[in-house]
Structure 1
Amino acid sequence: MLDLEFNDYFILLSALLLIIGVLTTKFSSRLGVPALILFVLIGMIAGSDGLGLIHFNNANMAQLIGIMALIIILFEGGLQTKWSTVKSVTKPALSLATVGVILTTVVVAVAAKLIFGVSWLEGFLFGAIVGSTDAAAVFAVLKGQNIKERLGATLEAESGSNDPMAMFLTISVIELIVVEETSYFLLIGSFFWQMGIGLIMGLALGKLATFAINRINLDSSGLYPVFALAFALLTFSATDIIGASGLLAVYVAALVIGNSELTYRQSIFRFNEGFAWMAQILMFTILGLLVFPTQLISFEIIVNGLLLSAILVFIARPLAVFLSTIKMGYDFKEKIFLSWAGLRGAVPIVLATFPMIAGIENSQLFFNVVFFVVLTSALVQGSTIMLFAKKLALTGPKEVEPPHSLELVSIGKANAEIIEFEVSEETIITNKTLAEMDFPKDVLINAVIRDDQLITPYGETKIKIGDILYILVSRESKQALKELLNHK
């Protein structure tokens, strides 16, 4: 009976936290505060040092939840990333994700050594943990904003690809601290193995996932998004098991899947977008529960944390950006913006649990300081990114989501799909009647939406600019139909 009562309270509390978390996303944009800060505060308030609703101090569980959430967030971010936009910034993004992380690590290591009086290896551990920008924070803050396309793509590609570097450096430094006879040459070999095999596994499993999604007819359309997410988890685990970078593999696989022709594309995208938000809410709330405010709000942590944050924001990050993007086409203002937009978020906090699990002497200090650094970064930088962009004149036209887009919907096990197509003035079918169109075989226009009104199509119906066509087509004729619709 007591167990049932506990379960009821647990489910009720979970529901309340989820509802509060979802509503928080609405208010965060109005307050100008990143949602992740509010999620963390919810966790801190509900935790042992707050209202005492939940007692949580399990670093292993927090790490597991954090990594699972990162997989989901990276997968969703990769799905939404257009390769046509990212390929032009591949070089600077990879430079920031590797050289930039190393430079940041070195500067922060020196600062941590001087501020906290730790050993050099412990200083480098500090630097490695906070060395990368955070995909969850960057994706959340930039989503729907009108930052210039090249800058937004650079930040998203960097944050999606630098987590593996930070994780590699963190684990390597922990190994150097714990294991006395660790070989530096083996660590260098491990780096190339992790990144190289992670890239290959991501490409291979991304293509496999795309093939499987398009070729396997499932009984329910709702299974396709779950099927896609299962491949994300498979990609991480299979890659991680062989000692390569699972996070890199997940992001690369998502890029492949998201930029391929995909059955139930919009269903998969919308499901993963919602699930990624759930993962963020859970992850940041759990990490908030892991923090004890009485330990965090101390004179030493506040002063030293602010000093380390200032060095990270005003010295380490700008130095990394300016040096790692030399001769890559960014002007001074753009580099200033890239420096300011280097948000820290969940990844450093998750990485800060690694020393705790390894039993390193100053692990609790690491966690508290890293948590404080992340809070200040998200609060100060995250809430002023758009202000910086506007002051530096780095904003473009406001992004407007089209009310209709090309959408593929499979019809059960039938060998057919419905295509939703918006007619533009450049389309060859504009101002033609249906009878005048030379459609491929097995093509039927089911409906026309004009000015939000349904029009039943017949032979003399003339297609106009702005019409939304719903077209039934066999899979064999789909490519020929798309070529006709896209012909100018």
Structure 2
Amino acid sequence: MIINTDYFVFLFALLLLTGVVATKFSNYLGVPALVLFIGVGMLVGSDGLGLIDFANASLAQLFGILALIIILFEGGMQTDWKRIRPVLYPSLSLATVGVLLTAGVVAVAAKYILGVGWLEALLFGAIVGSTDAAAVFAVLKGQSIRSKLSSTLEAESGTNDPMAMFLTLALIELLLRDTSSYWLMIPSFIWQMGAALVIGYTMGQVAVAIMNRINLDSGGLYPILALGFAVLVYSSTALINASGLLAVYILALVIGNSDVPYRHSVFRFNEGFAWMMQILMFIVLGLLVFPSQLIGDVIIKGLILSAILILLARPISVFISLLFFKFSIKEKVFLSWSGLRGAVPIVLATYPMLAGLENSQMFFNVVFFVVLTSTLIQGLTMSPLAEKLGLTGDKAPVSPHSLELVSIGQANADIIEYFLSEDDAAVGKQVIELCLPDSVLIVGLIRDGELIAPRGQTEMMANDIIYVLTPKEHSKNLKIWFKLGRCSS
């Protein structure tokens, strides 16, 4: 037992290190890191080198759900509500109508290509119907794609997973019950999405209030507290048969766009944890795949269905879903090409296996091949396509530094980060001219990637990232001082 334990601990460390190195190599090779993670899993699996004998779909599903919770939570926290709000309605249209249309078009093709019944064909379409948050977040990071488009893709991928999961579980239930009560799905859908929105937003407000009022002995406990809320929200929402993934994303949006203590610590911890779970999740899913089963008909059927999904189903869903929104033809073409599939379809493909459906193994193999081709082909070409269509923009300013007040126990002050935009009234004014109380101090600013210690005569410039040491009772007035250029009343 000791030998086995040490063996698996060693493999765990090896897989983590291999995943990190694969991420670095993916930048040089131009291959999405997610594909390399899956490749590592297939390589060390029972059908590869045989280092890990793993074929437990139930355990892979559990690990996949936990990983998705953490990835969605991190992605939601990093999402700026100001960027998402203008594209909220088109994103929701893509996440609902778009998923339905994609699933429907793919189902028609799957019916004849896979030779299955209509319900099974619809199930296959539902499994591959949604874009994947992990894949989209990973590909978009560091890219200079126009903000309107990247925000739309982020919001869509963060909110369409619940729709795909709902359709998958509902169709499995219909198959098992051998019934055609399709209309019963409508009230169930309204309940799942509505309850998730209410619970996610309410618990987000509760989490922010608790994080601001509780006085923990160590700053390192705040990221654990935030992550605990994410897992709690998912589980409590799922227990009442509502969409836990949607609730987690809403919770993350609320926390990420609120002033909370140890903000940078919470962000950095969850970013690293999300990367670790992403690496391990794709490796575990790769372990479930047997390369020998992908030879022959699976490759042919997978290529045909992947082509239909990428070139037909996704464009149809995008153009119809965005029919009443102001997107140019070029923007719709780019969004059509950017519907990356990833971990979610593979995780969803484990549900028919656990339900014991007849063609579940074939579904899993074909879904895996579709995801692999989508991630590889679309992930490689998203950025070049954006440049060719003239849809690139300036990269959002990211500070290479961070300042945070670290203390043991209660602190009566915070260091707040503020991005100075061009329309802020403080632009062009010297620090001494700003209407700041004596207890508020600008301790540093980032300009063109350089950290500057400001003086009274230092002039504020657009795109400066300012760090302000302020008592907690004044922290909410920063927008008034910098944006409106006047004192708070």
TM-score (norm 2): 0.92
Give distance in 2, aligned partners of 1:162 and 1:32. 27
Deviation larger for 477-486 or 88-97: 477-486
Paired residues for 1:180-195 under 5 Å: 180-181=178-179, 183-195=181-193
> Would you say the 8 A contact 2:399–2:465 is kept in 1?
no
Match of 1:344 among 337, 341, 355: 341
Residue aligning to 2:47: 49
Give distance in 1, aligned partners of 2:338 and 2:61. 26
1:465 Cα deviation from its structure 2 partner: 4.3
Residue aligning to 1:231: 229
1:483 Cα deviation from its structure 2 partner: 3.4
Residue aligning to 1:359: 356
Give distance in 2, aligned partners of 1:454 and 1:83. 28
Give distance in 1, aligned partners of 2:374 and 2:474. 52
Give distance in 1, aligned partners of 2:445 and 2:156. 42
> Would you say the 8 A contact 2:404–2:414 is kept in 1?
no
Instruction: Give the aligned residue type for 2:236.
Output: A
Residue aligning to 2:139: 141
1:270 aligns with 2:268: yes
Residue aligning to 1:397: 394
Give distance in 1, aligned partners of 2:465 and 2:379. 39
> Would you say the 8 A contact 1:441–1:477 is kept in 2?
no
Paired residues for 1:167-246 under 5 Å: 167-181=165-179, 183-246=181-244
Give distance in 1, aligned partners of 2:477 and 2:138. 38
Q: Residue 440 and residue 52 in structure 1: after superposition, are their counterparts in 2 closer, same or farther (change >3 A)?
A: same
Residue aligning to 1:440: 437
Q: Residue 217 and residue 124 in structure 1: after superposition, are their counterparts in 2 closer, same or farther (change >3 A)?
A: same
Paired residues for 1:401-416 under 5 Å: 401-404=398-401, 412-416=409-413
Q: Residue 408 and residue 179 in structure 1: after superposition, are their counterparts in 2 closer, same or farther (change >3 A)?
A: farther
Match of 1:283 among 281, 284, 288: 281
Instruction: Give the aligned residue type for 1:389.
Output: A
Describe the SS at the equivalent of 1:417: strand
> Would you say the 8 A contact 1:58–1:290 is kept in 2?
yes
Instruction: Give the aligned residue type for 1:107.
Output: V
Q: Residue 429 and residue 415 in structure 1: after superposition, are their counterparts in 2 closer, same or farther (change >3 A)?
A: farther
1:303 aligns with 2:303: no
1:335 aligns with 2:332: yes
> Would you say the 8 A contact 2:193–2:243 is kept in 1?
yes
Describe the SS at the equivalent of 2:6: helix
1:271 Cα deviation from its structure 2 partner: 0.9
Aligned residue-pair number: 480
1:316 aligns with 2:313: yes
Residue aligning to 1:86: 84
Cα-to-partner distance string for 1:155-178 (whole Å, 9 max, x where unaligned): 111111000000000001100110
Identity of aligned residues (%): 61
Q: Residue 196 and residue 60 in structure 1: after superposition, are their counterparts in 2 closer, same or farther (change >3 A)?
A: same
Deviation larger for 184-193 or 233-242: 184-193
Give distance in 2, aligned partners of 1:376 and 1:295. 16
1:419 Cα deviation from its structure 2 partner: 3.9
Q: Residue 136 and residue 462 in structure 1: after superposition, are their counterparts in 2 closer, same or farther (change >3 A)?
A: same
Give distance in 2, aligned partners of 1:68 and 1:50. 26
> Would you say the 8 A contact 1:80–1:258 is kept in 2?
yes
1:463 aligns with 2:458: yes
Instruction: Give the aligned residue type for 1:134.
Output: D
Deviation larger for 80-89 or 367-376: 80-89
Cα-to-partner distance string for 1:95-129 (whole Å, 9 max, x where unaligned): 11111111111111111110111111111111010
Q: Unmatched 5+ residue regions in structure 2?
A: none
Instruction: Give the aligned residue type for 1:339.
Output: S
Match of 1:17 among 11, 15, 18: 15
Q: Residue 444 and residue 34 in structure 1: after superposition, are their counterparts in 2 closer, same or farther (change >3 A)?
A: closer
Q: Residue 410 and residue 427 in structure 1: after superposition, are their counterparts in 2 closer, same or farther (change >3 A)?
A: farther
Give distance in 1, aligned partners of 2:239 and 2:180. 21
Describe the SS at the equivalent of 2:380: coil
Give distance in 1, aligned partners of 2:20 and 2:312. 35
Residue aligning to 2:64: 66
1:417 Cα deviation from its structure 2 partner: 2.1
> Would you say the 8 A contact 2:444–2:451 is kept in 1?
no
Give distance in 1, aligned partners of 2:111 and 2:417. 59
What is the RMSD computed on CA atoms of the aligned residues? 2.4
Residue aligning to 1:99: 97
Q: Residue 449 and residue 30 in structure 1: after superposition, are their counterparts in 2 closer, same or farther (change >3 A)?
A: closer
Residue aligning to 1:378: 375
Give distance in 2, aligned partners of 1:81 and 1:24. 26
Describe the SS at the equivalent of 2:145: coil
> Would you say the 8 A contact 2:431–2:460 is kept in 1?
no
Give distance in 2, aligned partners of 1:320 and 1:390. 23
1:110 aligns with 2:108: yes
Give distance in 2, aligned partners of 1:42 and 1:174. 31
Describe the SS at the equivalent of 2:121: helix
1:32 Cα deviation from its structure 2 partner: 1.4
> Would you say the 8 A contact 1:406–1:422 is kept in 2?
no
> Would you say the 8 A contact 1:198–1:239 is kept in 2?
yes
Describe the SS at the equivalent of 1:383: helix
1:23 Cα deviation from its structure 2 partner: 1.4
Give distance in 2, aligned partners of 1:137 and 1:417. 35
Residue aligning to 1:155: 153
Instruction: Give the aligned residue type for 1:359.
Output: G
Describe the SS at the equivalent of 2:398: coil
Instruction: Give the aligned residue type for 2:326.
Output: G
Give distance in 1, aligned partners of 2:349 and 2:472. 50
Instruction: Give the aligned residue type for 1:311.
Output: I
Describe the SS at the equivalent of 1:52: coil
> Would you say the 8 A contact 1:132–1:159 is kept in 2?
yes
Q: Residue 409 and residue 149 in structure 1: after superposition, are their counterparts in 2 closer, same or farther (change >3 A)?
A: farther
Give distance in 1, aligned partners of 2:89 and 2:420. 36
Q: Unmatched 5+ residue regions in structure 1?
A: none
> Would you say the 8 A contact 1:73–1:279 is kept in 2?
yes
TM-score (norm 1): 0.92
Residue aligning to 2:430: 431
> Would you say the 8 A contact 1:428–1:487 is kept in 2?
no
Deviation larger for 385-394 or 420-429: 420-429
Instruction: Give the aligned residue type for 1:427.
Output: A
Cα-to-partner distance string for 1:276-318 (whole Å, 9 max, x where unaligned): 111110100000001111111x110111110111111111111
> Would you say the 8 A contact 1:93–1:155 is kept in 2?
yes
